[in-house]
Amino acid sequence: EANEGARDLHHPPLHNELRLWDGRVQERLGRLDAAQEAYERVLEAALEIDQFELASRAAEQLVLIIGDI
């Protein structure tokens, strides 16, 4: 949201269609950030206890999430 505010200060108002698509891009980037953070937490925890299968599954799930985004 901070980036959105900064964008509004430096650019003229976005055309309605562009505003719609930009909103969708920002939403998906937010979901990607959340997925990456969750993946990193699971990966770190799994590697701490030598659970390489769990770490592998976490990586696999992130790939699927990215594909869905």
How far is 57 from 64, CA to CA, in rounded Å? 11
Q: Which amino acid is at 55?
A: A
Query: Which residues contact residue 59 at a Cβ distance below 8 angstroms, ignoring those fewer than 6 apart?
Result: 39, 43
Alpha helices in the chain (DSSP H): 2-10, 16-48, 52-68
How far is 8 from 46, CA to CA, in rounded Å? 41
Residue 9: the pLDDT is 57
Q: pLDDT truncated to tens, each residue of the chain (69 aa)?
A: 555 555 555 666 668 888 888 899 999 899 889 988 988 888 888 888 888 888 888 889 888 888 876
Residue 67: the pLDDT is 82
Residue 30: the pLDDT is 92
pTM for the model stands at 0.58
Residue 17: the pLDDT is 85
Cβ-based neighbour number of residue 58 at 10 Å: 20
